Structure 1
Amino acid sequence: MKSLKLCTLLYLIPMSAMAAQECSQNMTKSAPNARYEFNNNGTIKDRITGLTWMRCPLGKTWDSTEDTCLGDGQDMFWQAALYDVQSINQNPSHALHNFAGIKNWRMPNIKELVTLSEHSCFAPALNKKAFSNAFPYSTNQENYGAGDIRSRCLSN
């Protein structure tokens, strides 16, 4: 019973105490840097799946001089994200219209999202070079729960 209480207490400790990504050195990387073609235009291409991804979630912008995402991601429900992607593709006045020279962006499905997972790391479980500063790491920030991610777009 004591161990159950301890595990429960450890689970309740805010993730903000673990602000930096942690990776196991004993595990093979599932999404190593070599897997990706890094473009200076805010995208990466997955050499295994052939998919091109925006390096930042919707609402953030890519800073190529710092190799990181800046700003705040947009909170939205799935249907709103689908509408926003449609707007990106069809509305020439949208800030991301023809982003990186690509005209046909779409929302990824769950199988495609899973391919981004870096199994040897957590907080976040993503390749840090590919998706630098893309997602918040804390589970106690306002409007976030464990496992929340923001919208991500891709082109294939």
Structure 2
Amino acid sequence: MNKFMFTALISLFSITAFAQECSADLSRSAANSRYINFDNGTVADNLTGLTWMRCPLGKQWNNISQECEGSTETYFWQSALTMIASINDANGNHQLHEFAGIKKWRMPNIKELMSLKERACYSPAVNTKAFGKAFDYEVGDLAGYIWSNTPSNNGNEVYSFDTPNGEVLSYNPAQHKLSVLLVAE
């Protein structure tokens, strides 16, 4: 019986670790009304005019459950750029080529990523209706950190967006593997 209780408690903690928490005292910075969710796995941001894939590379949008499924793929920064070039290559046969009818996907800059921040929430600090279970990671799991195309001020690192807390962090692009979320105009 004790083994059962221990297992039940561990399961409960692992479930609650991924539940988004929001403050009722703060107004929403990325409210549901800001986004137009499409069944094709994209979301349009009315504030910025950008279209985002709803899931990072490796995960797929499930329109029935309204969430991302699968495992996020992480990349070194240069490998991520190569993957994006492969996705956009008209002569290639990448499964995401012209995803949702969009011909050119790209890596977002850090300002675009920060525009996704929901300041009233954390774990994740993004709108979960727009990006359902896309970023259900704990702090420290680099799959929850998204590469930007913006080099840091020191020139040796690249900025990333920390989805659990909504922070900007910089990492060495050749030493860390992070997730990739694509955007289009």
TM-score range, shorter-chain basis? 0.7 to 0.9
Which digits, 9 at most, give the CA deviation of each residue in 1:84-124, with x for residues without a partner? 11111105410101100000100000000000000000001
1:66-81 to structure 2, matched below 5 A, reads 66-81=65-80
The Cα shift of 1:23 comes to 0.4
Give the structure with the larger strand fraction: 2
Whether the 8 Å CA contact 2:88–2:98 is kept in 1: the answer is yes
The Cα shift of 1:41 comes to 0.4
* Structure 1: stretches of 5+ with no match in the other structure: 1-14
The Cα shift of 1:25 comes to 1.1
- Aligned equivalents of 2:101 and 2:144: distance in 1? 34
Q: Which amino acid aligns with 2:180?
A: S
1:91-106 to structure 2, matched below 5 A, reads 91-106=91-106
1:125 equivalent in alignment to 2:125: yes
Number of matched pairs: 141
- Aligned equivalents of 1:113 and 1:153: distance in 2? 10
The Cα shift of 1:145 comes to 8.2
1:4-153 to structure 2, matched below 5 A, reads 18-90=17-89, 91-139=91-139, 147=162, 150-153=179-182
CA spacing shift, 1:68–1:155, aligned 2, 3 Å: same
TM-score (norm 2): 0.70
The Cα shift of 1:140 comes to 5.6
Whether the 8 Å CA contact 2:73–2:179 is kept in 1: the answer is yes
CA spacing shift, 1:144–1:63, aligned 2, 3 Å: closer
The Cα shift of 1:139 comes to 2.9
**Aligned partner of residue 117 in structure 1, secondary structure:** coil
Which digits, 9 at most, give the CA deviation of each residue in 1:15-64, with x for residues without a partner? 96632100011111000010011111000000011000000000111111
Whether the 8 Å CA contact 1:135–1:150 is kept in 2: the answer is no
Whether the 8 Å CA contact 2:72–2:143 is kept in 1: the answer is no
Q: CA RMSD in A?
A: 2.1
Q: Which amino acid aligns with 2:125?
A: A
CA spacing shift, 1:68–1:20, aligned 2, 3 Å: same
- Aligned equivalents of 1:155 and 1:65: distance in 2? 24
Runs of 4+ residues over 3 Å off in structure 1: 15-18, 143-149
Q: Percent identity at matched positions?
A: 49
TM-score (norm 1): 0.83
Higher relative contact order (CA 8 A, sep 6+): 1
Query: Corresponding residue for 1:5?
Result: none
